[in-house]
Structure 1
Amino acid sequence: MLEWSDIVLRLGVATLASGLVGLNRDLHGKPIGLRTLGLVGLATALAVMLASPAAIEAGRLSDATSRVIQGILTGIGFLGAGVIVHAEQHKVKGLTSAACVWFTACIGVVCGLGHWRLVAVALGFAFLVLVLGGPLERAIHRLFGGRNTDDLPPAP
């Protein structure tokens, strides 16, 4: 059985890490925020830890835990789909926020398994994409012509 400190660490890091992604979305006026994504990360970490605590403690992934992870990553798509909105002129919006829902579910899984280096590296890359991706995308479109940069969304 996992120690209390390990339980608090795994669930706390999942909530905090996922909540930070949600804070980024909220600060950019997106339809999903800190509470929603914090709860996605917390719930997925909890589900993974509940699936097979003995296997997680031993550092191996049981069949039950594998099935739970598969179900989470499949089912979370429904929540992400709810974030995607078809706007006027057939423009799709919310794909980045939907991807953040899926990402925070993955962060929850990894926290539930206790793989801290994976959490740190994945969060680092996610924030690079979220912070620098929009400006880089616009700069490339301006440089190479691409589509009209006025049509591109503002920086996330």
Structure 2
Amino acid sequence: MDIQLELILRVFCAAMLGGLIGLEREYRAKEAGFRTHFLVALGSALFMIVSAYGFSGTMSSEEQRWDVSRVAAQVVSGIGFIGAGTIIFHKSQNIVRGLTTAAGLWVTAAIGLACGGGMYILSVAATLLVLAGLEAFNFFLRRLDTKRDLKANGQNSETSEQNTKNETDVVKN
């Protein structure tokens, strides 16, 4: 395959995988959605590609060495600033919001770097793990919220399970 086509495939793969994570975040109405994750993954892949291939023509001497890992490290630092912008502390409620979104941006950048490095299988596996982890997190969070609401309303778990079953039956019909 022509090197240019391979590089385009890497960027396209990164953008699509980042977009998948972004769609999940968008569906959950979180701070950073499709566009942000799409762009973070695409940009990370581009940085990796440029660091690996972009300077080969300018470095003609054996004394000059290029460390591509330095660019990847700087991407991680840069994403830290973007992620920090999604984290908000609500002093009145004493809670922190946006940590999962920040971590999602961080791992999306890593997936973009992996795609940029041509590690497609690793990138797809990581994306699937992220999506599975986010879904599992939401499942347990819903259960925790249900138990918390029931406790606040003074209901016991047997009554709440019957209420949940009845509500589910109504929704199905």
Quick check: TM above 0.5? yes
Superposition TM-score, scaled by structure 2 size: 0.72
Q: Does 1:129 align with 2:149?
A: no
How many residue pairs end up in the alignment? 137
Deviation at residue 149 of structure 1 after TM alignment:
3.3
Change (3 A) 1:129 1:3: same
Q: Which runs of 5 or more residues in structure 1 are unaligned? A: 55-61, 143-147, 151-156
What corresponds to 1:25 in structure 2?
25
Q: Does 1:78 align with 2:78?
A: no
What corresponds to 1:93 in structure 2?
97
Query: Deviation digits for residues 55-82 of structure 1, max 9, x if unmatched?
Result: xxxxxxx852100011111221010010
What corresponds to 1:42 in structure 2?
42
C-alpha separation in 2, matches of 1:138 and 1:36: 25
Amino acid at match of 1:67: R
Greater Rg, structure 1 or structure 2?
Answer: 2
CA-based RMSD of the aligned residues comes to 2.2
Choose from 101, 112, 130 the match for 1:108: 112
Preserved contact between residue 48 and residue 68 of structure 1 (Cα < 8 Å)? yes
Between the aligned residues of both structures, percent identity stands at 35
Amino acid at match of 2:71: V
Superposition TM-score, scaled by structure 1 size: 0.80
Q: Which runs of 5 or more residues in structure 2 are unaligned? A: 55-64, 150-173
Amino acid at match of 1:80: G
